[in-house]
Structure 1
Amino acid sequence: MSNPKPYPTEEELPSYSTVNDIDFSATYSYADYMRFTFDERMELIKGRLFQMRPAPSRYHQKSFGSIHNSLYNFLEGHKCEVYGAPFDVRLPRKSKEDAAIFTVVQPDIVVVCNPEKLDKRGCIGAPDIVVEILSPGNNKKELKFKYEVYEEAGVKEYWIVSISDQTFFKYILGNDGKFEPTRLLVGGEKVTTPILPGYELDLEKVFNF
């Protein structure tokens, strides 16, 4: 029996200086992702590359700021930490080697309560809470592809904020490792979570455009 082929070394990997160097039909790893030197932001989902929108809308940014600031202020002095995009979240299936990681996402906001998952490059492993604020054109990616990888990775809560509908929806990871949907919330209601006892997110402020 022949020995398994080792992961390629850094010297064996190609370089990517422009988006034109990318073959969007190919499979990429985090090792490839780390060699991107162009300015455009990318996400890697199960080896497939997705180009992110250049800039979110003003309404997106207002909602982002409201949620992030609320979490940041609440978590001051807390063991959990909150980070906002751009912030790489690597979701390994088996090995944590760069060449063996095929999903790297940049959620709008993440809460991480295990400091061992944090390093200088971001987060490796499932955050406790992931928040995605839907923007026109990328809803399919958030609702399908990211739903799958967040569930598989073991994200405890997946929050979906819709700017156009002004709604909030949350999936909670069940004991069977599958996401369970919760009731749709709208402006004027408040979001709570057992992950952060005592925390409340006022949706009236989130959708205050």
Structure 2
Amino acid sequence: MAYGSEITSLDQLDVTKLYSYADYFKWKFEERVELIKGIIYKMSPAPSPVHQLIFGVLFWEIQSFFKRKACKVFAAPFDVRLPDSGKQTDDQLVFTVVQPDISVICDPGKIDARGCIGPPDLVVEILSPGSSKKDKEIKFGLYEENGVKEYWLVEPADKVILVYVLKDGKYVGLKSFTGEDEMSSPLFAGLKFKVGEVFE
């Protein structure tokens, strides 16, 4: 298919092939997808009410903390492009585009009209039945490999927030925050809140 032609249905694509951001950018179908190393991953069609309530509390806590600070907070849908080389930004050579639930970006040079190019400093993913394996395994490795400094995995079913911080290129898990715990960010001093309030 010629570069630049418009794709209006996911059915037009061969999901066994590898695609780039140049391909992704011309897709005009309603289904939300992510590209991870060229492979298409379908996203949940619509977040559940529980997901949205948790998201609302977390976004408010994070946004309130970063208000009037240099770092910027973005909510999905917001494209984060992760070039394989870490430097190559040509659309046809970028094979990973993800949409974290929440992204915190402290380098303004990474933000452009189409989203973010390069790893955010903090990523938050709220698990859902359709995304659990992807967020815990595939995206975990992806964020680790690309240098996302802090990664929160939020588990609504267990009412737990797992926090990982990057040390020497590998994620180190902190304690599981739950119930009456006060969760605090290891990267951003002062970003803290009661975990129980997230799941009320």
1:122 counterpart = 2:128: no
Which runs of no fewer than 5 residues in structure 1 stay unpaired? 1-9
Q: Is the 2:162–2:177 contact (alpha carbons within 8 Å) kept by the matching residues of 1? A: yes
* Residue 204 (structure 1) aligned to one of 176, 191, 196: 196
* Residue 42 (structure 2) aligned to one of 47, 51, 66: 51
Structure 1 segments (4+ residues) deviating >6 Å: none
* Residue 160 (structure 1) aligned to one of 153, 159, 165: 153
Q: TM-score, normalised to structure 2's length?
A: 0.95
Query: Aligned pairs, how many?
Result: 198
Q: Which has the larger radius of gyration?
A: 1
Give, in angstroms, the shift of residue 11 of structure 1: 5.7
Letter in 1 for 2:177: L
Per-residue CA deviation, residues 141-179 of structure 1 (Å, 9 max, x unaligned), is 1111101110111000010000011111011100x2111
Give, in angstroms, the shift of residue 198 of structure 1: 1.4
Aligned equivalents of 2:15 and 2:155: distance in 1? 28
Aligned equivalents of 2:92 and 2:43: distance in 1? 22
Which runs of no fewer than 5 residues in structure 2 stay unpaired? none
Aligned ranges 1:41-120 → 2 under 5 Å: 41-94=32-85, 95-120=88-113
SS at match of 1:61: helix
SS at match of 2:145: helix
Aligned equivalents of 2:170 and 2:192: distance in 1? 25
SS at match of 2:135: helix
Per-residue CA deviation, residues 74-121 of structure 1 (Å, 9 max, x unaligned), is 111000111110000001122111111111000000111111111111
Letter in 2 for 1:45: I
Aligned equivalents of 2:187 and 2:115: distance in 1? 21
Q: Is the 1:30–1:103 contact (alpha carbons within 8 Å) kept by the matching residues of 2? A: yes
Per-residue CA deviation, residues 24-75 of structure 1 (Å, 9 max, x unaligned), is 1110000000010111111000110011111111110000000001111111
Q: What does residue 179 of structure 1 align with?
A: 171
Q: Is the 2:165–2:186 contact (alpha carbons within 8 Å) kept by the matching residues of 1? A: no
Q: What does residue 22 of structure 2 align with?
A: 31
Q: Is the 1:67–1:201 contact (alpha carbons within 8 Å) kept by the matching residues of 2? A: no
Q: Is the 1:132–1:160 contact (alpha carbons within 8 Å) kept by the matching residues of 2? A: yes
Aligned equivalents of 2:173 and 2:105: distance in 1? 21
Of residues 82-91 and 183-192 in structure 1, the stretch that sits farther from structure 2 once superposed is 183-192
Select the structure that is richer in strand.
2
- Percent of pairs identical after alignment? 44
Q: CA RMSD in A?
A: 1.4
SS at match of 1:68: helix
* Residue 142 (structure 2) aligned to one of 142, 146, 149: 149
SS at match of 1:179: strand
Q: What does residue 5 of structure 1 align with?
A: none
Give, in angstroms, the shift of residue 13 of structure 1: 4.8
